């Protein structure tokens, strides 16, 4: 076993030369230098565009207060989106319809799973009122999965669209819908309400569905 002579080199010089701690066996020094970054290999600061700022500001507080006042949920909060502060500070949010509890437990999602509360049929009116108060030109609606409902809650999407059109006719509406368990009539009910944009996330490739989304296909 070869040891570095602590008298042959100053500790400061040893570090500068990347030799690690004085007195370590040579084979440990080699391993140490492979693992411990030094010089140009030291971690760099994150670029500004990658840093998440703490939420705050007048618009953020306004959106938060409005959601609480109207008893509404947003996917921004329930899914712990890191962009929440940025979006809310600009007065935008994605409404989460049909409560904050999902009947599914997808591996990538932070929304809680359980038995949802009774469906709130008055929710569409409160969403539309919030859209009007926020003076939105574009609104995004999504929802939890409600597999216990025959139509998956499709009528809530449709009714919310209609209520928004009544209050803010100029507002375009984008919907991000669940799969409704393949119920084509439910899909048609949403489409009949004529959203400007209709989205559905596949999330992953078919091979991984059983692992990532066991309750979907």
Q: Domains in the chain, ordered, with CATH? A: 11-41 (no CATH), 58-212 (3.40.50)
* Distance from chain centroid for Cα 119: 24
Residue 176 backbone phi and psi in degrees, to 5? -115, 100
Write out the chain's pLDDT in tens, 217 residues: 445 454 554 455 554 555 444 555 666 656 656 655 655 656 678 787 777 676 667 788 888 888 899 999 988 888 788 778 878 777 777 899 999 999 988 877 788 889 999 999 999 999 999 999 988 889 999 999 999 999 999 999 999 999 999 999 999 999 999 999 999 999 999 999 999 999 998 878 888 878 887 777 6
DSSP code of residue 58: H
pTM value surpassing 0.85: no
The token duo for 10 is 């100053």
Q: Bridge-partner residues for 140, per DSSP? A: 94, 174
Going by their DSSP bridges, the two strands 172-176 and 94-97 should be labelled as unpaired
Angle formed at CA 143 by CA 142 and CA 149, multiple of 5 degrees = 140
Question: DSSP E strands: which ranges in 27-159?
Answer: 73-74, 94-97, 138-143
Closest to 42 in 3D by CA, of 23, 24, 15, 22: 15
């Amino acid at each position: 076993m070869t040891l570095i002579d602590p008298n042959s080199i100053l500790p400061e010089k040893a570090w500068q030369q990347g030799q690690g701690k004085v007195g370590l066996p040579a084979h440990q020094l080699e391993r140490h230098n492979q693992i411990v970054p030094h010089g140009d290999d030291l971690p760099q600061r994150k670029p500004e565009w990658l840093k998440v700022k703490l939420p705050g500001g007048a618009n953020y507080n306004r959106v938060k207060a409005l959601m609480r006042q109207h008893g509404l949920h947003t996917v921004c909060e329930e899914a712990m989106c890191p962009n929440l502060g940025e979006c809310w500070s600009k007065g935008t949010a994605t409404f989460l319809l049909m409560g904050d509890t999902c009947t599914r437990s997808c591996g990538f999602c932070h929304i809680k799973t359980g038995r949802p509360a009774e469906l709130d049929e008055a929710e569409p009116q409160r969403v539309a009122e919030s859209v009007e108060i926020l003076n939105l030109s574009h609104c995004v609606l999504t929802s939890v999965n409600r597999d216990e409902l025959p139509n998956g809650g499709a009528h809530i999407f449709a009714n919310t669209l209609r209520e928004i059109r009544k209050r803010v006719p100029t507002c375009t509406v984008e919907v991000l819908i669940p799969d409704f368990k393949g119920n084509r009539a439910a899909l048609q009910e949403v489409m009949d309400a004529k959203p400007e944009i209709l989205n559905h996330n596949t999330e992953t490739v078919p091979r991984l569905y059983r692992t990532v989304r066991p309750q979907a296909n």
